[in-house]
């Protein structure tokens, strides 16, 4: 019979492989960070499952980061027990709502969705497309070639060369005109950006667009944020930015590309589904679900 316990510092290291690599650092600090909660499942003192989450202090909500059960112990109710116990702990510490975001296309996706339905979570809603591909293959798309040339009134420049005055103008536009969606503003993504192909677009001397990228591994660049002024979007100017960024990536022999597109940007989502698919190695999506705690 398996047992469930709240994970402590003394045993956290044994459970690190039962969550995503990006969360393992937090797991090591589970005792000192009171907002973190991990429920561990063990059998004969050996780790077999883990549910890991956090309390968000600003709005009394909780976030479930991962649920994992070793393959040989699945379909035995352990996953359900882990999630229910984590919900109870979050409720007991003042949470009134829990959020969970996951990615489709994995062998465990259907099992997770059945678990969420069984535990009365809301039906999952699409949040973002996750696109992966090879840079050279993507550059073969006809529209990447079509929009690679720009009229003389445009120029593309390395983002690290943006001037202080141009930054101030963009910030003023954000405040006064609200022409730029909050999740598309460039400055929040500048930390650790990839200077090789993070680019800006000028039109008649004014910055009107950008693509901000990050190297997430030696062989992969994530295209994190892109934007072009609304009146120029139908001219394909954002594709011009992608094309130049792609050329620089191929020249540097960095093979892999990944990016996400929120479903709220419907025109781009439709463009990806209808035009990009043949040039990508995979298109999956993230989905989100919530549960109100009573």
pLDDT at 59: 79
pTM, to two decimals: 0.79
Token pair of 182 as six digits: 């909050």
Q: Which whole-number Å values give the CA distances from 122 to 7, 36, 125, 129, in the listed order? A: 27, 23, 9, 20
Order of strands, sheet of 256-262, starting from the edge strand that comes earlier in the sequence = 3-6, 36-43, 46-56, 61-69, 97-103, 282-292, 125-134, 256-262, 220-228, 206-217, 199-203, 154-158
pLDDT at 150: 93
Average pLDDT, the chain: 92
Token pair of 248 as six digits: 């620089």
The predicted model gives 61-87 an average pLDDT of 95
Q: What angle do CA 49, 284, 121 make, to 5 degrees?
A: 50
pLDDT band for position 178 (cuts 50, 70, 90): low
DSSP string computed for 159-197: GGG--HHHHHHHHHHHHHT--S-GGG-SGGG-TT--TTT
Q: Which of 201, 120, 111 is nearest to 158 (CA)?
A: 201
pLDDT at 11: 82
Query: What length is written for the chain?
Result: 294
The predicted model gives 25-46 an average pLDDT of 86
pLDDT band for position 177 (cuts 50, 70, 90): low
pLDDT at 22: 81
Instruction: Choose the weakest-confidence range: 179-188, 190-199, 229-238.
Output: 179-188
pLDDT at 237: 93
Q: Which residue has the higher pLDDT, 131 or 11?
A: 131
User: How many Å apart are CA 213 and CA 224, to the nearest integer?
Assistant: 5
pLDDT at 122: 97
Q: Tell me whether strands 125-134 and 154-158 are parallel, antiparallel or unpaired.
A: unpaired
The predicted model gives 26-33 an average pLDDT of 78
pLDDT band for position 132 (cuts 50, 70, 90): very high
Token pair of 15 as six digits: 């459970």
Query: pLDDT digit string (tens) for 45-73?
Result: 899 999 999 998 777 899 999 999 999 99
pLDDT at 175: 75
φ/ψ of 188, rounded to 5, equals: -75, -10
User: How many Å apart are CA 88 and CA 114, to the nearest integer?
Assistant: 20
Query: pLDDT digit string (tens) for 235-260?
Result: 889 999 999 999 999 999 999 999 99
Domains of the chain plus CATH, in order, are 3-121 (3.40.630.30), 131-288 (3.40.630.30)
User: How many Å apart are CA 285 and CA 210, to the nearest integer?
Assistant: 24
């Amino acid at each position: 019979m398996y047992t469930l316990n709240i994970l402590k510092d003394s045993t956290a290291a044994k459970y690190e492989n039962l969550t995503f690599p990006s969360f393992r650092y937090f797991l090591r600090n589970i005792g000192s960070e009171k907002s973190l909660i991990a429920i561990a499942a063990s059998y004969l003192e050996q780790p077999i499952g883990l549910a890991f989450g956090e309390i968000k202090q600003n709005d009394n909500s909780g976030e479930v980061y991962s649920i994992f059960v070793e393959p040989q112990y699945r379909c035995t109710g352990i996953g359900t027990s882990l999630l229910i116990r984590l919900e109870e702990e979050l409720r007991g510490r003042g949470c009134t709502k829990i959020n969970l975001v996951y990615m489709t296309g994995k062998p465990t996706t259907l099992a997770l969705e059945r678990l969420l339905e069984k535990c009365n979570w809301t039906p999952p809603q699409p949040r973002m497309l996750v696109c992966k591909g090879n840079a050279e293959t993507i550059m073969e798309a006809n529209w990447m070639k079509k929009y690679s040339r720009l009229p003389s009134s445009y120029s593309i420049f390395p983002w690290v060369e943006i001037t202080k005055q141009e930054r101030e103008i963009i910030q003023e536009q954000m405040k006064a005109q609200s022409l730029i969606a909050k999740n598309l503003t460039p400055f929040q993504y500048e930390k650790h950006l990839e200077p090789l192909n993070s680019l800006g677009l000028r039109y008649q001397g004014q910055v009107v667009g950008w693509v901000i990228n990050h190297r997430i591994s030696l062989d992969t660049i994530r295209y994190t944020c892109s934007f072009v002024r609304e009146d120029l979007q139908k001219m394909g100017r954002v594709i011009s930015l992608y094309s130049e960024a792609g050329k620089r990536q191929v020249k540097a022999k960095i093979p892999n590309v990944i990016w996400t597109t929120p479903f709220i940007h419907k025109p781009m989502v439709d463009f990806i589904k209808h035009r990009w698919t043949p040039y990508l190695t995979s298109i999956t999506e993230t989905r989100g679900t919530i549960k109100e705690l009573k």
